[in-house]
Structure 1
């Protein structure tokens, strides 16, 4: 499943492109994505902060900032229920 839209990460409104899959090896849902360039998130990551919350509407998920890509976007990863609504909502 893939998702894209507006999210809030660490109090900053961003554009998120993400997707995920169920991993049968550990029995959990793994998701990851890319946040479009946002200087505040880049500063957070470079200051050493990696653990963040992602909020989409009323849904919240813990995530980890991974790296800044060559275009200034930030890669993000999470395990467990993703922050975006299921397809059937």
Structure 2
């Protein structure tokens, strides 16, 4: 189950090649036990006019000092962009404490 600790909704810097834009993003991620990797996905709300972002474009998303590589998966009917990535997300994760039984 995901909660608000798994969600980032705020500003990020999106870079694709020479193109850079600051935009609101809404990103969420989860650990997939089937492949053992962290998967994240979400929406980029920027609407660049020059076609710099499109399906299949590789992007770097940075939130403060944290960044990650992702890929634009599609442009939504509202002109926003869906993005997905695997590995550490471009936003800081809340620290958790684990109790391991012996």
Q: TM-score, normalised by structure 2?
A: 0.77
Give the structure with the higher percent helix: 1
Is the CA contact 1:7–1:55 (under 8 Å) kept in the aligned structure 2?
Answer: yes
Unaligned regions of 5+ residues in structure 2, if any? 1-5, 96-102
1:22 and 2:13 aligned = no
Task: Decide which of 64, 78, 83 is 1:76's aligned counterpart.
Answer: 83
Runs of 4+ in 1 over 2 A off after TM superposition: none
Q: 1:37 to 1:52 in 2, by over 3 A?
A: closer
The number of residue pairs the alignment matches comes to 86
Unaligned regions of 5+ residues in structure 1, if any? none
RMSD, matched Cα: 1.7
Task: Decide which of 47, 51, 56 is 2:58's aligned counterpart.
Answer: 51
